[in-house]
Amino acid sequence: MWRSLVLLTLLLVGGVVLALGALAGAWMAEQDRRGALEDARRQLDAAEAQLRAQAAELLRVAREVATGLSESHSARLRTWIENEPLGLYRDARDPERVDIQAVMDALVAEVRQRGREEAERIQLLGERVEAVATARLEAAMARERAAADARAGRQAEDRRARLMQNLLVLLCGMAVLLALTLAGLVVRPVRRLRAAVDRIAAGDLGTPVPLTRRGAEELAALARAVERMRRRLLELTAGLEAEVRRKTEDLERTLGERTAALAELGATQERLVQAAKMAGLGTLAGGVAHEFNNLLGGILGCLESARAEPLPAAARGDLEVAERTAQRAADLVRALLDVARPGTRALVPVALGRVLDDVLHAAAPSAQRRRIALVREPGPEVTVLGDEGQLHQVALNLVANALQAVDDGERIWVALRAEGGQGVLEVRDEGPGIPPADRARVFEPFFTARPGGTGLGLFVSYGIVERHGGRIEVGEATEGGAVFRVRIPLAAPSPRPPPG
């Protein structure tokens, strides 16, 4: 169908071009005709002027000829009259006299003779003038004919040149049409095909190759072949990409695992270092506490004995103060000993929620006095394997530290959740938080940033959590304060033996 349309369009355009050419030819022919008429008019004018000039010249020559004839005739007669020897015309009867009649007769004879010669010359001259005039006119006409022939030749040459020019223009037009047609049938499909190939070469396999239905069948077949090639490349590329993606995921996963393992390893190492350090500190503190416990035992025994003795009231008062002080020292020593000595009680499932409720209940009065909000975040019941009393002590330490860290009117959040086989107890506050440089030391004994603090609460808690096989962490809360997380293994169906 489209071929017929193209052919019809070409025929129409060709017809229009031919019609325009014919019109142009007719116009130029009319111009030629007018030019030829003008040339003929000019030629006639020129010929007329030349003929007039020739006629004038001939008239001048004829006048000169006539003058010459007249002068010649007169000169001859004058010469005769002036030079004729009159002595030859003597009268026969009177030799002394000139015979006038004889002279006249001789003169008449001379005139007649000259007249005959003159007539002959006039005839010859007339013929000559006629011949000259004829020759000149013929020459003029020959020149005019030659000029006319030359002009006609030039005009014919001009017409031929114009015809060739028109033909050239027509051919150029047809060549342009042919070029446009070829461009439409061949060049453009080839260009589109080349663009498609360039896209494919650039990696763009998603754009389909335009399958033109114009142009030669070979181009269409070539386009289809390129499209098949594109699809095949697309399939191969997709497979390769999937493979690469899978490999990449494997690598990433392996990398993640290794990274996690490295992190875990680092954390474990850190915990081991920390544990070793804490163990050392615990051992040291335990040794010191053992010796002090012995001493304090003696001191308290002595004090108890002394209190049994009658003493003045003032002394009894001092004794009581000394006894309370020694008792606090004994408590500290006992706390240190609790950290240093492994627990001996069996670990049992402990509901951390109930422990936490007891702690919050105990801390509530203090918090209320200072208008501190103790927020128990909702969460599942978490049961861990441990020593309820020690876990209670840990939770109480964390809440007490939070109460001491926040200002009046601020908030403390407490939450429980199960995570990774562990029960997580989280306490965070709106306090100033713990500087990162101090976070590694907050669990060391006697480290405290609070005036009047002993620096043993977190140390004791650390020891308890370690003995439960858990882990205690410190960080920064989203609310800006500090956050402590205690991870204790969840209670198993069969209770595990106590560590150590």
Q: Which residues make up the interface to other proteins (CB under 8 A)?
A: 61-62, 64-69, 71-72, 76, 79-80, 83-85, 87-90, 92, 95, 102, 106, 117, 120-121, 124-125, 127-129, 132
Tell me whether residue 76 or residue 159 sits nearer to other proteins (CB atom): 76
Nearest to 221 by CA among 199, 182, 189: 189
Q: How far is the CB of 98 from other proteins (least distance, A)?
A: 12
Cβ-based nearer residue to other proteins, 65 or 351: 65
> Scanning the structure block, which residue is given the tokens 């976070």?
439
**Cβ atoms within 10 Å, residue 418:** 16
CA angle 31, 34, 39 (to 5 degrees): 120
Residues 419, 485: Cα–Cα separation, whole Å: 12
Contact between 486 and 462 (Cβ < 8 Å): no
Q: How far apart are CA 53 and CA 60, in angstroms?
A: 10
Residue 221 contacts residue 238 (beta carbons within 8 Å): no
Minimal distance, residue 141 CB to other proteins, in Å: 18
Using DSSP's 3-state secondary structure scheme, residue 418 falls into: strand
Instruction: Kindly tell me the sign of the dihedral angle through the C-alpha atoms of 295, 466, 344, 387.
Output: positive
464: its two tokens? 């308890």
| CB nearer to other proteins: pick between 75 and 175 | 75
Q: Which is nearer to other proteins, 109 or 221 (CB)?
A: 109
**Residue with smaller CB distance to other proteins, 90 or 214:** 90
CA distance 64 to 114: 20
Give me the least distance between CB of 108 and other proteins, in Å please.
14
Q: Which of 6/61 has CB closer to other proteins?
A: 61
Q: Least distance (Å) from other proteins to the CB of residue 26?
A: 51
Min dist CB 48 to other proteins, Å, is 24
Say how far apart CA 396 and CA 84 lie, in whole Å: 190
Comparison of 90 and 316: residue with beta carbon closer to other proteins = 90
In the complex, least distance from residue 17 CB atom to other proteins, rounded to whole angstroms: 60
Q: Residue 359's beta-bridge partner residues?
A: none
DSSP characters over 396-412: HHHHHHHHHHSPTT-EE
The torsion angle over the Cα atoms of residues 404, 410, 416 and 422, rounded to 10 degrees, is: -50
Q: Which is nearer to other proteins, 66 or 142 (CB)?
A: 66
Residue 440: phi and psi, rounded to 5, are: -80, -15
